[in-house]
Amino acid sequence: MKLLLTGCTGFIGRELVPLLIKEGHSLIVISRQSKEQLKAIANDQSINVIQMNPAESSSWDKEEIQNSLKSCEGVINLAGEPIAEKRWTTSHCKEITNSRIETTKNLIKSLRNLRKPPKVLINASAVGFYGSHPHNEFNEENIHGDDFLASLCKEWESIAKNKPRATRLLIIRIGIVLAKDGGALGKMLPIFRAGLGGPIGDGKQWMSWIHRTDLCNLIKESVKNSSWSGVVNGVAPKPVRMNEFSNSLGQALGRPSLLAVPGPILKLILGDGSRVVLEGQHVQAQRLNKLKFKFSFPIINEAFKAILT
């Protein structure tokens, strides 16, 4: 299948792009990075790269992107600035929002103008849709929360739902993605390897996580399985509390995990962005279970073992 990809050149894309190529898909990748950088990352010279900022509406008027849209059979939209890596200043919140909202608006507008739209659109969202809560358990049937991330995810998903009628839509509400070369775990590993790691905050908050390989396989299955539509939670079947997460990571590394990071310290570093880590949410993959998706790494210990060996 000929697929158009946005937001697939970073942490998730490093594994997703080679997987899709291995599956025999032909890829058109939209990115702000240069063609040479992307082809080097993917180690494949056959990828068609369009260098542009997808959040800028004028970029979508170019002949190259219009021709690519006309020829594509599926779209994977994962575009978005990282959420919990910087303080939530006014300017950074605007980047977080625009990179998702404007990109998806531009994409949907372009798809709706096509005489023959793609068969499928896989659109990212996040478990932040549900808001944060120390006790409540969430599944796909729960309504959205009322904080910044929840409002952002609600708008993001609403825009994606305006896709062409003929296009199947699957929205993946992604949890904390685990791999050693990036994301939350990538930042934690050097600290834990030095024996300085431990739970963040009170350690009781829930971590709804997924191994990157399982997320990429989920996206792969979403592309080819025509019966998959609607919303799924992209999380492993067994969320864990922060204490268990840090203990399991320490055990996998053979290092202690005793030095807790106080919440106020994290708030000082990340500001409001610390809420993503400090509050958390217990999210269940209810629909993936019904769809009989097979996780390679359903348990946190197995995930860490695979990542660190």
pLDDT value for 187 = 80
Is pLDDT at 42 greater than 70 in this prediction?
no
- Which pLDDT tens digit goes with each residue over 74-118? 999 999 988 877 777 888 889 999 999 999 999 999 999 999 999
Is pLDDT at 179 greater than 90 in this prediction?
yes
Q: pTM for the full model?
A: 0.94
Question: To which residue do tokens 């898909």 refer?
Answer: 25
More confident residue, 18 or 278: 18
Handedness of CA 212, 82, 283, 278 (dihedral sign): positive
Is pLDDT at 39 greater than 60 in this prediction?
no
- Which pLDDT tens digit goes with each residue over 270-279? 666 667 777 8
Domains in the chain, start-ordered, CATH in brackets? 2-175+212-235+284-293 (3.40.50.720)
pLDDT confidence bin for 232, thresholds 50/70/90 = very high
Is pLDDT at 168 greater than 70 in this prediction?
yes
pLDDT value for 95 = 92
